[in-house]
Amino acid sequence: MNNDSPVKAFLVILLTALVCSSLVSAAVVVLRPIQLNNQMVDRSRNIINLTGLIEKGVTPSDEEMLELYRGMDVRIVNIDEAEFDNELDPLSFDPRRAVNSPELGVNIPADQDRASLGRRSRYAPVYIVLRDEELDRIILPVHGTGMWSTIYGYVALESDLNTIAAATFYEQNETPGLGDQIMRPEWQEQWAGRLIYDEVGDMRFAVNHGKVEPGSSTWLYEVDALTGATVTADAVTGMMQYWFGPHGYRDFLDHLREHGSGEH
């Protein structure tokens, strides 16, 4: 057939599209299970690194990570009722989907919305680390709106439910080289040991606008600024203020402090 006839052009395009799209689809279908497994390992690593269960410098294999993760005590918290929920299945509950559901989500009052979220899920999956039957750490999910993206992270608290044991941010799309420094392990490491609330129970944690001087009045509650990323740093502060404030986990943490985690 003549190469310049419109019919030939049409056929060539149709065939190319068919062949190319089936090749791409095949690649996606074949590789999907491996990618899902990677995501699981990734999520497990984020959580396990906060538990204090692995020693520093030890890197468990992917299988060990998944094994440790499967052994975690994960529970659903009803944030508004300030207690554990016994009805939802912690393994299948998807908080991101719950945000927009009429029953599972709730609007955040504008004057409280320090994380600029608009809405949040009523429930959150939290991870509990027990040592000798006693609560050792609790890992709480947090998220908030940064400069360009929603930032997702976890904060692990010590058994006093006030000292930060570790924190991590695992998903963001902030400015490369500036805001995305929140992903740097060195920056996340300085969170360990900071306090969230002061003696009278006011939420004090913040990202400083400079370097935190040891011994200064805010030293116990603040971490160093991120060079050139004020908006992202303030977003992290806002996110912490919201999630550890009255509309966030505050009541739940108070309740847990008084009653312990045993009522599950």
Partner 1 sequence: MGSKDTFIKPLLKENPVTLHVLGICSALAITNSLTSSLIMSVSLTAVLVLTNVAISLIRKHLPSSVRLIVQITIIASAVAIIDQVLTAYLPDAAKTLSVYIALIVTNCIVLGRAEACAMKHGVGTSILDALGNGLGYSIILIIVAVIRELFGNGSLMGHRILELVHEGGWYEPNAMLLLPPSAFFIIGFLVWGIRCWKPEQNEKADFRPAPLPDSEKR
In the complex, the residues that contact partner 1 under the rule CB under 8 A are 3-5, 8-9, 12-13, 16-17, 20-21, 23-24, 27-28, 31, 34-35, 38, 42, 177
Distance CA 253, CA 248 (A): 10
CA proximity to 234, closest of 244, 220, 222, 246: 222
Q: Is 59 exposed, middle or buried (CB count within 10 Å of its CB: 0-12, 13-18, 19+)?
A: exposed
Q: Which is nearer to partner 1, 3 or 217 (CB)?
A: 3
Task: Check: CB of residue 264 under 8 Å from CB of residue 245.
Answer: no
Q: In angstroms, what is the minimal distance from the CB of 186 to partner 1?
A: 10
- The residue type of 197 is Y
Q: How far is the CB of 254 from partner 1 (least distance, A)?
A: 38
Please, are residues 47 and 153 in contact by the beta-carbon 8 Å criterion?
no
Q: Rounded to the nearest whole angstrom, what is the least distance from the CB of residue 34 to partner 1 in the complex?
A: 4
Structure-token pair, residue 40 = 């699981």
Furthest CA-CA distance within the chain: 86
CA 37-41-46 angle, 5° bins: 150
Q: Minimum distance from CB of 249 to partner 1 (Å)?
A: 29
Nearest-angstrom CA–CA distance, 73 and 69: 9
CB of 41 to partner 1, least distance (A): 8
Nearer to partner 1, 34 or 91 (CB): 34
Residue whose CB is less far from partner 1, 4 or 103? 4
Please, which residue, 165 or 229, has the CB nearer to partner 1? 229
Nearest to 205 by CA among 178, 233, 171: 233
Shortest separation between residue 40's beta carbon and partner 1, angstroms: 11
Q: Which is nearer to partner 1, 147 or 195 (CB)?
A: 147
HSE-CB of 173 using CA atoms within 13 angstroms: 4
Q: Residue 83: is it exposed, middle or buried by C-beta count within 10 angstroms (0-12/13-18/19+)?
A: middle
Shortest separation between residue 4's beta carbon and partner 1, angstroms: 6
Question: Given the complex with partner 1, which of 12 and 130 has the nearer CB atom?
Answer: 12
Q: Which amino acid is at 115?
A: A
Nearest CB to partner 1, comparing residues 24 and 130: 24
